[in-house]
Structure 1
């Protein structure tokens, strides 16, 4: 009797073990694509330390593939085919995997229509995207993917509201991480991070993102960081702020069309308020190959404020400045007042603080 019970227990244990092993495999298939290829999944801009598996790939055979599911917490990935290299950088779809994911179906011709099962992917499709469509008017996955990398305050406001209503959402947490690591620190982002439920705050991604927010190099109230730059004469120096009551740091580069288009307005503001204590410093991220163009733009447009070069944006990337032009507003002591001020808001500050001085 004891022997039979032991055999029954062992049989059940083996069956359960096999069942758990089956759950660790994600079955994948393609619609309208039968070629042999390689499917790549990767992070985009978020540090590797946030991930259990940062980059991985799988072979596609006759439109079928498998993935190992050993995710301890939900993960966000972007995707690409090996055959896409040289044609595009990224496919327009956010893929959320968690330990409930068992199936993924990729639509080759309409990639953004691809589907993934699992709790997190379901939330993204049935809750997050529907709310984004309702509140932001964003109906297209391609547009939503591009929106992640734009300075779009409405998206951040939406993310705050969505997180407040869905404080256990890993979808919201990953998108917040994506925004932070591309656009840098914001007070609104910090407030959004604080909204998450304790169950989410115990996750590695929340802990890492919280640490990065707390230690952000560009943060309102902080001193402007010490960086190394190059002068117009080609000398390497430690960056020193000019004397002024309000100081604008302008991150730009010579072949950035929006940067060039903003210069006439900046010149007008500078001419008006420089006598009252307004200063501008330009920091370009031009590579060595366009250094002469950088100098030519300064001369041709007769830009009279100080200019420095951060070759290829080595220092700028550390500050998480990835969109241009990007303006930081500092006070007379070099403390950051605004981490991302637009020209309209800049003019407001100048009129309020420097008019008549």
Structure 2
């Protein structure tokens, strides 16, 4: 590892915004050091979360000279960024705030956290401390899971798999409750707000909704706060107890899905997937077995693919290859599902005969257990 100098030298920066936006922005400076002598470092936003950045926000590049680099720019509030050096290193995300911050990067730790001394990332330390019990619980779960995996491989006995899933979801409940408690004690934590925003990728529950309500107006009305609120409002539409929305999707014949596709069955699983999603494909055999076991009792599955235009033929081939005999529909480019905040796949919604969502995110073993107890 090359020696890292202490002095920080300005190297290069590029404008981030159009001139019309400058009046709303404040200066930021990044003084950085890295364990390589030369090259370039890029400061890059997350393209999947464009709502978190002002219009016109673009990656910027700085040269590395003798292990040092510097960025100057303007932002109106903290933004979540990552650093990229060449083709071999990319950091984990880190908050860039107005004012100055010193950042240190170790390229030996690919996807590792850069050392960042701004106030947002300093808050991460108190956040991590509050979650120590949660992390220990997760570690214990992982140790238990790994021990079972060493014995049974990928096919656990159903009783053990169901028990393992219940243990995992118990850690989720503790995690969400801990986040709520942390925000009650630290309502001005921008870091906690970002964590909530990221967590909503995996679905909504009332604890997460209550957590958002404990942030002050200043954070709620920030760009990040508004993006978080939008996720909550989208996801609440497909929460347990809500009525399944009318998806504008079409089958292989180009026919639109019925307005009430669930009313002829006691319970219907809406399985959202796409043709190149390996976890989606991995559950097909289990879904086929479950459908065969419970179809006569009033259970059905409806598949909705979110394949992009260039993969439509792959979607058709997948239906044939995996012998998916239940109704299949296409949400081209995921336009419909994205309206409801669905970005993680597979995602499933279990719906009763009246169209009410009775369960979400069930694994196949959980689904089987639910059907045994409710059909």
Q: What is the TM-score with the length of structure 1 in the denominator?
A: 0.73
User: Match for 1:60 among 59, 63, 76?
Assistant: 63
**Residues in 2 aligned to 1:210 and 1:113: alpha-carbon distance in whole angstroms:** 27
Structure 1 residue 190 corresponds to structure 2 residue 194: no
Contact preservation (8 Å) 1:46, 1:178: no
Aligned length: 313
1:84-142 deviation per Cα after TM superposition (whole angstroms, max 9, x unaligned): 3xx68xx2422123335432222233352521112211111x22234445521589xxx
> Kindly tell me: are residues 50 and 184 of structure 1, through their superposed partners in 2, closer, same or farther at Cα, counting changes over 3 Å?
farther
User: Match for 1:34 among 17, 37, 41?
Assistant: 37
**Residues in 2 aligned to 1:211 and 1:252: alpha-carbon distance in whole angstroms:** 23
Match in the other structure for 1:209? 228
Match in the other structure for 2:102? 103
> Kindly tell me: are residues 204 and 229 of structure 1, through their superposed partners in 2, closer, same or farther at Cα, counting changes over 3 Å?
closer
The Cα of 1:71 is off from its aligned counterpart by 4.6
Q: Which has the larger radius of gyration?
A: 1
**Residues in 1 aligned to 2:41 and 2:207: alpha-carbon distance in whole angstroms:** 39
Match in the other structure for 1:280? 301
1:274-320 deviation per Cα after TM superposition (whole angstroms, max 9, x unaligned): 22322210112344555455444434544332111233433333333
Structure 1 residue 316 corresponds to structure 2 residue 337: yes
Contact preservation (8 Å) 2:277, 2:345: yes
Match in the other structure for 2:193? 173
> Kindly tell me: are residues 254 and 48 of structure 1, through their superposed partners in 2, closer, same or farther at Cα, counting changes over 3 Å?
closer
Matches within 5 A, 1:298-317: 298-317=319-338
User: Match for 1:80 among 84, 92, 97?
Assistant: 84
Q: What is the TM-score with the length of structure 2 in the denominator?
A: 0.70
1:251-280 deviation per Cα after TM superposition (whole angstroms, max 9, x unaligned): 123343322322232223222322232221
The Cα of 1:54 is off from its aligned counterpart by 4.2
Contact preservation (8 Å) 2:43, 2:81: no
User: Match for 1:270 among 245, 267, 291?
Assistant: 291
Q: Which runs of 5+ in 2 are unaligned?
A: 1-25, 140-168
Q: Which runs of 5+ in 1 are unaligned?
A: 1-22, 140-150
Structure 1 residue 119 corresponds to structure 2 residue 126: no
**Residues in 1 aligned to 2:242 and 2:314: alpha-carbon distance in whole angstroms:** 33
The Cα of 1:42 is off from its aligned counterpart by 0.6
Contact preservation (8 Å) 1:38, 1:59: yes
Contact preservation (8 Å) 1:101, 1:116: no
Match in the other structure for 1:219? 239
The Cα of 1:160 is off from its aligned counterpart by 3.4
Structure 2 residue matching 1:127: 3-state secondary structure: helix
Contact preservation (8 Å) 2:188, 2:216: yes
> Kindly tell me: are residues 79 and 134 of structure 1, through their superposed partners in 2, closer, same or farther at Cα, counting changes over 3 Å?
farther
**Residues in 2 aligned to 1:256 and 1:211: alpha-carbon distance in whole angstroms:** 26
The Cα of 1:193 is off from its aligned counterpart by 1.4
Contact preservation (8 Å) 1:223, 1:335: yes
Structure 2 residue matching 1:30: 3-state secondary structure: strand
User: Match for 2:279 among 258, 264, 277?
Assistant: 258
Matches within 5 A, 1:154-173: 156-173=176-193
**Residues in 1 aligned to 2:366 and 2:94: alpha-carbon distance in whole angstroms:** 37
The Cα of 1:172 is off from its aligned counterpart by 1.1
**Residues in 1 aligned to 2:349 and 2:94: alpha-carbon distance in whole angstroms:** 34
RMSD after superposition: 3.3
> Kindly tell me: are residues 128 and 115 of structure 1, through their superposed partners in 2, closer, same or farther at Cα, counting changes over 3 Å?
same
